[in-house]
Structure 1
Amino acid sequence: MKKPMTMTQKILASHAGIEYVEAGQLITVNLDLVLGNDVTTPVAIKAFKDANADKVFDKDKVAIVPDHFTPNKDIKSAEHCKCIREFALEKEVTNYFEIGEMGIEHCLIPEKGLAIPGDVIIGADSHTCTYGALGAFSTGVGSTDMGVGMVSGKAWFKVPEAIKFVLKGKPGKWVSGKDVILHIIGMIGVDGALYKSMEYTGEGLKYLSMDDRFTIANMAIEAGAKNGIFPVDEKTLEYIKGRTEKEPRVFEADEDAVYSEVYEIDMSLIKPTVAFPHLPENTRTIDEVGEVKVDQVVIGSCTNGRMEDLRIAASILEGKKVKKGIRLIIFPGTQQIYLQAMEEGLIRKFIEAGGIVSTPTCGPCLGGHMGILAEGERAVATTNRNFVGRMGHPKSEVYLASPAVAAASAIVGKIVSPEEVM
């Protein structure tokens, strides 16, 4: 009798060339994509050279995206980018994205059709789990694993246990995928899914757009998960249409698959949610926030820098002004998103409201550049982490929220519900 498997287990088994895998099993799998950025790839290149390799395993299956400190903020970041640029050109890496082509990697990779259903993807960046939104197994690895992956096209994994999240109900007007994942992390904690697969299902999925799903999958690592993954449906297939010539491989969890836990979540009951310093699990609903004045608002990142995010922010900011003394910084996720936002008139709305619009970059999310916080300053951000010193000074504070809450907060100068300004 055939043993039941989760969606993640089926993808891993197919890439390991075996019929069945179970939680805890060690396997070696074939990779569909190996990804790196300007911070992690130089170390991976050293591992690549230490292996005495002369070429990458497949020049179409390696992607290098300089996004963390680019445009280069200092000499060190310029040297990093020079290193990866020379490597990519020498090894004829097809998917190397220079400034002008680049975007925030986890927005750019799906946009370019480089992640599709059924893929196994590793990236030397913890938020590589984003592509689970497309029904792929994708996870972050260390730079050495990336280097080995570039040489061999393989990686080893311990098959993760899975947690099943059954999503029901339709989210309210100002509730987005960001609120859903903050609610979940607040419920299970930052280690609530440690080395597990977060698998989403339920009739509520029909109310989640692809941008919502990217946000939810992106923050799986904030619950300690190995990966987050969504089933493939019409929205998934519509998203990848025209982006790739590769055939998607659709895997479905068996009905009797084994899960370590099962949670049922009624999204109609979720309120806009804010994560207080200094952990993503430290959540409060918008009516519990109290008086939290902010100095800076950041809308963007690999979590919330997509078109839907910018449209929501613009709908709130239109015809209004950012409060005097508040800095509003907006980061479109890719050049294509930037261009579309410009064509839709969103950029004008942001600038007229008193915000600034940056080139696509990770920028302030990791305390990189273009929005560092000083001592004692507070930011509300649509980013994914709010650890001590994450966005600058160790004595600064970061509050995580949705684009709707962030935009409203920029107008008032403190964290508020969008309803307060609409």
Structure 2
Amino acid sequence: MNITEKILAKASNKNVVSPGEIVNADVDMVMIHDLTGPLAIEAFKRIGVNRVWDNQKIVIILDHQVPAESVKAAELHKMLRQFAKEQKIRIYDVGRGGICHQVMPEKGHVLPGTVILGADSHTCTYGAFGAFATGIGSTEAAAVFATGKIWLKVPEAIKINVTGQFQKYVAPKDLILHIIGKLGVDGATYKSVEFTGPTIRGMSVAGRMTLCNMTVEMGAKNGIVEPDEATRKFLEGRTAKPLMPFESLRSDADAAYEKVVDIDVSDLAPQVACPPSVDNVKPASEMSSVQIEQAFIGSCTNGRIEDLRAAAEILKGRKIKEGVRALVIPASQEVYLQALKEGLIEVFTEAGAMVCGSTCGPCLGGHIGLLASGETCISTSNRNFIGRMGSTQANVYLASPATVAASAVTGRITDPRELEGSKA
């Protein structure tokens, strides 16, 4: 079996499972946030049970509309706080957490070998830690609140074997954009996408999170990486729970895959996903004629400390182009504090960027930095379909933190290598 099948077999008390099989799996953790949570709570109350199945296995995180950008949002936040208090559920409120997919692993809620569900499509991010993690709807979350179980079909698997060394200013974001461009937005529909190979084994946990985060953009049920010493190091001090032996979380040598995709990153250049689809991917160097009005660095895809470091390396000593608005949003309070300690916030501010507290706001077109008609944004986020970040007449391009930072400096989409040797 592959790693996903092993996790689902254990969770459903079976020795073996096969692709296409329906299993009833025990859930280890479920997360809701301020957009999906209220619907889940309403549905849970309609079920007719008084208490959740296990209040230690449910997490509520406020991140999408924080701080509350309307009275309606404030009322929904109030509802979530009341439910958390009634059920004695852990809640990460405004200023005490950040973007859900960063906070969950930071606070020790993500462990290798577990089944984690979230009422958010990018829950697949946690596969970076060797967990089976997938997004569910609010009503499904309500059912899990009541039962602690979920039925699902064991997915077919795609193995992506990655070799080679990244060139300077080429990052995991460029790799996942390249993969999505190669496979298409429906190229992994209801598949488990397993990342492996020497490049993945040498990649940081943050980089793996970026890869797994965007597997849903090609339709995947989940993305996953085998846990290793890097996983263990990240989790040290974040959880008191014992970790499963990692040896049991390895895909067998004879594990079956629907397909195997081999990718050598040695010659990979900075990539850009062009509107209106994430699989419309081109080298950044070919897009230099595209002028921008906004640059966004942040989100659950690329708001981690190493992402901010990559952007700051480009922006240090430089100024953001007149006429370009640059927003920087650390993915969590922990990341924000680390960026402060390292002087990155100062770099961004001196360059002319606005640094905001952790929120999903601009990524989903909810608040903070929405786009007007005719405007163009280059963003480190994960989606660029029509109307995603504001007006349906705006254009959104997706890229790595280095590419977004370089573009903010020049005022047009820019391969960051173009700035090498230029005066900072």
Same fold (TM over 0.5): yes
Task: Judge which range, 248-257 or 358-367, deviates more.
Answer: 248-257
Letter of the 1:186 partner, please give it.
Answer: G
**1:96-111 pair list within 5 angstroms:** 96-111=91-106
Whether contact under 8 Å (1:171, 1:267) holds in the other structure is yes
SS state of the match for residue 60, structure 1? helix
**Take 2:201 and 2:269, find their aligned partners in 1: how far apart are those partners?**
19
Residue equivalent to 1:205: 200
Instruction: Give 1:207 shift.
Output: 3.0
Q: Which residue of 2 aligns with 1:22?
A: 18
Q: Which residue of 2 aligns with 1:403?
A: 401
Match of 2:396, SS state, is strand
Q: 1:389 aligns with which of 387, 404, 408?
A: 387
User: Residues 146-189 of structure 1, C-alpha deviation per residue, up to 9 Å, x if partnerless?
Assistant: 11111111111111000000111111111111011000000000
2:125/2:213 contact within 8 Å kept: yes
Q: Report the CA distance between 1:47 and its aligned residue.
A: 1.5
Query: C-alpha separation between the residues in 2 aligned to 1:282 and 1:290?
Result: 16
Using the TM superposition, give the Cα deviation of residue 342 of structure 1 relative to its aligned residue in structure 2, in angstroms.
0.4
Q: Deviations over 1:251-292 (max 9, x none)?
A: 111111110110001011211100000111000012222401
Q: CA deviation at 1:51?
A: 1.2
The answer as to 2:53 corresponding to 1:72 is no
Alignment equivalent of 1:169, drawn from 160, 164, 176: 164
Deviation at 1:102, TM superposition (A): 2.1
Is 1:123 equivalent to 2:118 in the alignment?
Answer: yes
Contact kept, 8 Å, 1:36 with 1:124, in 2: the verdict is yes
Quote the Cα distance in structure 2 between the aligned partners of 1:381 and 1:332.
14
Q: C-alpha displacement at 1:204, in angstroms?
A: 1.5
Q: Counterparts of 1:5-16 in structure 2 under 5 Å?
A: 5-16=1-12
Q: Is 2:58 the counterpart of 1:62?
A: yes
What do residues 360-394 of structure 1 show as CA deviations (whole Å, max 9, x unaligned)? 00011000100100000000000000010000000
The structure-2 alpha-carbon separation of the partners of 1:201 and 1:183, relative to structure 1 and needing over 3 Å to count, comes to: same
| 2:339 corresponding residue in structure 1 | 341
- Counterpart AA for 1:92: K
Q: What do residues 53-108 of structure 1 show as CA deviations (whole Å, max 9, x unaligned)?
A: 21111111101111111101112211211111110111100x21111212000011
The one-letter code sitting in structure 2 at the alignment partner of 1:409 is S
Unmatched runs of 5 consecutive residues or more in structure 2: none
- How far residue 410 of structure 1 moved from its aligned partner, in angstroms, is 0.4
Secondary structure, counterpart of 1:56 in structure 2:
coil
Q: What's the counterpart of residue 185 of structure 2?
A: 190
Residue 36 (structure 1) aligns with? 32
Q: Which residue of 1 aligns with 2:210?
A: 215
Aligned to 1:237: 232
Aligned to 1:237, what secondary structure does the other structure show? helix
CA–CA separation in structure 1 for the residues paired with 2:100 and 2:107: 10
> Which letter maps to 2:10?
S
AA at the equivalent of 1:39: L
Query: Runs in 1 of length 4+ with deviation above 3 angstroms?
Result: none
SS of 1:170's equivalent in the other structure is coil
How far has the Cα of 1:119 moved from its partner? 1.0
Per-residue displacement from partner, 1:326-366 (whole Å, max 9, x unpaired)? Answer: 00000000001101100110000000000010010001100
Matches within 5 A, 1:300-379: 300-379=298-377
SS at match of 2:65: coil
TM-score, normalised to structure 1, is 0.98
Counterpart residue identity of residue 58, structure 1: D
Q: Distance in 1 between matches of 2:116 and 2:282?
A: 34
| 1:248 paired to 2:243 | yes
- The equivalent of 1:85 in structure 2 is 81
SS at match of 2:363: helix
Give the corresponding residue for 1:153: 148
Q: Does the CA contact (< 8 Å) of 1:170 and 1:207 recur in 2?
A: no
User: 1:258 — aligned with what?
Assistant: 256
For the pair 1:283 / 2:281, whether they are aligned, the reply is: yes
| SS of residue paired to 1:166 | strand
Mapped partners of 1:11, 1:133: distance in 2:
14
Question: Conserved in 2, the CA contact under 8 Å of 1:171 and 1:207?
Answer: no
Rounded to whole Å, the distance in 2 between the matches of 1:372 and 1:359 is 16
Q: Cα distance, 1:420 vs. partner?
A: 2.1
Report if aligned partners of 2:288, 2:412 keep a CA contact under 8 Å in 1. no
CA deviations on 1:180-238 (whole Å, 9 max, x unpaired) are 10000000000000000000111122331111100000001001000000011111111
Distance 1:355-1:281 versus aligned 2 partners, 3 A rule: same
Inter-partner Cα distance in structure 1 for 2:417 and 2:194: 32
Partner of residue 269, structure 1: 267
AA of the residue aligned to 1:72: A
Task: Write the distance in 2 (CA, Å) between the matches of 1:108 and 1:333.
Answer: 8
Task: Tell me how far 1:421 sits from its aligned partner.
Answer: 2.2
2:375–2:395 contact (8 Å) kept in structure 1: yes
Q: What's the secondary structure of 2:186's corresponding residue?
A: coil
Deviation string 1:23-76 (CA, Å, 9 cap, x unpaired) is 111111111111010000111001111111211111111011111111011122
Q: Secondary structure at the match of 1:385?
A: coil
